[in-house]
Amino acid sequence: MTQPTLTSTPTPAPSGRTSAAALGAQVGAGKSAPMERPKDRPNAGRSRPAWMSRSVVNVVLIIAVAYALLPQLWLVMAATKDLGDLFGTNGFAPGTGFNLDENLRYLVQAQDGIYLRWLANTVLYAGGGALAASVLCVMAGYAFDKLEVPGREAVFGLVLVGVMIPSTALALPTYLLASKVGLANTFLGVFIPGLVFPFGVYLARIFSASYVPDAVIGASRVDGAGELRTFWSVAFPMMRPGFVTILLFQFTAIWNSFFLPLVMLSDARLYPVNLGLYVWNTTAMSQGKPEDYLLAITGSLVAIVPLVLLFLALQRFWRAGMTAGAID
């Protein structure tokens, strides 16, 4: 991403600890080269004139960028069209009229404003869930790194087993158990599974090892601070960038989740946005309600905007997590 130079990591490169080795993650990625290196001279390739290689390289890259952006352009354009234009005009160009405001009004009014309710649900599921999950992760990761944990590596290994079991493989068993204890089709049925983020514990341990010097913890203990206080007022502030990274990853993961809410929820008032859009799309495609296309399309655009903004604002935290997951 485009952290002012991709090269300077905002975070100290996590030092190679057993934790990283445990995942076999040893990639030279992001080992924070100190500065953007002066680029190799392109005309070292003597056989072709430099402008030619330069054009070829950039044309390929521009094609890739177009591939990344055009589908999003389509969505933006589609959200500004009425039903006739949606099917009747070129998807990458504006329609004959500008209908975005009308589509938005239609979206928020549909079914007594259920879309806004879905958005609020999603914010609770993803925002609340990720916040709580990140606190749990940071505390656990810190404990693994700095505290005397009986059977540390065995317990940590158990946590890593959680990384290996994909969440989709757990969705149906989670639903079965939730029905048994009466949590199926409830808010908690979707919320509780979001509280556990094993990869976050792994990241938190790395972050604790690289951000929080052992000596600082030792000094705080000598000063008579209890463990909880040491964590909260000494270690946690130092781990804050890591906390944000974990928060961001889990927030995205919950916002993305589809299989679990799909099996867990039948009450439309509990849906996250994803599930609602899925239902609208289904009714548009296979139940002869083409006007629901407008809802699915405009609803998709509205749901993406905060995520894109969040991503642009927090790029460096994304990057820290992406590379830390793959570095030793």
Q: By CB under 8 A, what part of segment 127-166 binds another protein?
A: 136-137, 139-140, 142-144, 147-150, 155, 159, 161-166
Rank residues 114 and 137 by Cβ distance to another protein and give the closer one: 137
27: three-class secondary structure by DSSP: strand
* C-alpha span between 324 and 102 (Å, rounded): 45
When binding is defined by CB under 8 A, the residue of 1, 83, 116, 188 that contacts another protein is: 1
Does the protein bind another protein through residue 199 (CB under 8 A)? no
The answer to whether the CB of 23 falls within 8 A of the CB of 157 is no
* C-alpha span between 9 and 234 (Å, rounded): 23
Does the protein bind another protein through residue 82 (CB under 8 A)? no
In DSSP terms, 327 is beta-bridged to 27
When binding is defined by CB under 8 A, the residue of 11, 220, 245, 274 that contacts another protein is: 274
Rank residues 112 and 179 by Cβ distance to another protein and give the closer one: 179
Rank residues 31 and 240 by Cβ distance to another protein and give the closer one: 31
Residue 21 Cβ vs another protein, minimum distance, rounded to whole Å: 8
| φ, ψ for residue 35, nearest 5 deg | -150, 155
Does the protein bind another protein through residue 244 (CB under 8 A)? no
When binding is defined by CB under 8 A, the residue of 130, 190, 247, 277 that contacts another protein is: 277
When binding is defined by CB under 8 A, the residue of 79, 86, 238, 264 that contacts another protein is: 86
The answer to whether the CB of 7 falls within 8 A of the CB of 34 is yes
CA 79 and chain centroid, separation: 24
Does the protein bind another protein through residue 79 (CB under 8 A)? no
Residue 253 Cβ vs another protein, minimum distance, rounded to whole Å: 10
Rank residues 35 and 112 by Cβ distance to another protein and give the closer one: 35
Residue 113 Cβ vs another protein, minimum distance, rounded to whole Å: 21
Residues binding another protein: what is the number (CB under 8 A)? 124
Does the protein bind another protein through residue 27 (CB under 8 A)? yes
Does the protein bind another protein through residue 14 (CB under 8 A)? no
Does the protein bind another protein through residue 219 (CB under 8 A)? no
Give the residue from 313, 270, 294, 316 showing the smallest Cα distance to 11: 316
Does the protein bind another protein through residue 188 (CB under 8 A)? no
Does the protein bind another protein through residue 224 (CB under 8 A)? no
When binding is defined by CB under 8 A, the residue of 16, 17, 32, 128 that contacts another protein is: 32
Does the protein bind another protein through residue 233 (CB under 8 A)? no
Residue 210's CB is within 10 A of a number of other CB atoms, namely: 19
Residue 111 Cβ vs another protein, minimum distance, rounded to whole Å: 19
Q: What region does 24 belong to: left with phi over 0, alpha with psi -120 to 50, or beta?
A: left
Q: What are the DSSP calls for 214-260, one per residue?
A: HHHHHHHHHTT--HHHIIIIIIHHHTHHHHHHHHHHHHHHHHH--HH
* C-alpha span between 9 and 11 (Å, rounded): 5
Residue count (the chain): 328
